[in-house]
Amino acid sequence: EAQVTQNPRYLITVTGKKLTVTCSQNMNHEYMSWYRQDPGLGLRQIYYSMNVEVTDKGDVPEGYKVSRKEKRNFPLILESPSPNQTSLYFCASSPTLPPEQYFGPGTRLTVT
Amino acid sequence: KNQVEQSPQSLIILEGKNCTLQCNYTVSPFSNLRWYKQDTGRGPVSLTIMTFSENTKSNGRYTATLDADTKQSSLHITASQLSDSASYICVVSGGSNYQLIWGAGTKLIIKP
């Protein structure tokens, strides 16, 4: 089944403790992206990747890192999480740009 | 500034009734407009995409319209069902870098 998977789905952590949210797609898509979604706001893009080893900042990249060593995986790294990064995070992939995007199920992150 | 605004913020209707959701945008140049459905706690799923030359597009009980002159789009839902309860998000692709500009969504609740 074609899908985008994210892990974990739920995560509660403390300020400053490094964490990684994994994202994997099995559709051989070149374009992958991370978004955060907060109440009352539209999805905001954090980082995106056009292909392996090619990443770029989105609208809200501060406090996040990404890597794209393989086509299928696009992990999101929070080196030192802070409470303002408490949010719902979505990974998405698509074959082309501008993308017909396929979204993962989301990761709800709480930073205390 | 490129923006997408949706109205109403939320809407409650009875099962079987019709409703129309609005999307106004200021994105220029315009590439395409997409409507997504997002169930609570899940990733958005694409309903329809409209390009500059398209005025109307249907997907089952969902009909999207686009007026590129007034920069307005609407999503009409016919004979609503309980499963239509979700947030509906308008996304416009455009701007100098063909970025995606997301609306904040309309939360639709269908009551039996």
Q: State the smallest CA–CA distance between residue A58 and chain B in angstroms.
A: 9
> Which residue is closest to B99 within chain A, CA to CA?
A98
Token pair for B105: 């969504």
Contact B100 A105 (CB under 8 A): no
The span from the CA of A28 to the CA of A84, in Å, is 33
A 70-99 residues with CB below 8 A of B?
A: 90, 92, 97-99
Contact A104 B43 (CB under 8 A): yes
Partners of residue B45 in chain A, C-beta under 8 Å: 103
- At B42-71, the pLDDT tens digits run 899 999 999 888 899 999 999 999 999 999
Question: For A84-111, what is the mean pLDDT?
Answer: 89
Q: How many CB pairs under 8 A join A and B?
A: 40
- At B10-49, the pLDDT tens digits run 999 999 999 999 999 998 888 899 999 999 888 999 999 9
Out of A10-24, A63-77, A86-100, B73-87, least confident range: A86-100
Q: How far is CA A31 from CA A73, B36, B94, in A?
A: 11, 19, 17
Check if the beta carbon of residue A11 is closer than 8 Å to that of residue A108.
yes
Question: Hey, is A26 helix, strand or coil?
Answer: coil
The span from the CA of A57 to the CA of B99, in Å, is 12
Q: How far is CA A99 from CA B14, B33, B40, B91, B97, in A?
A: 35, 11, 23, 11, 13
Contact B43 A90 (CB under 8 A): yes
Longest pairwise C-alpha distance within chain B: 45
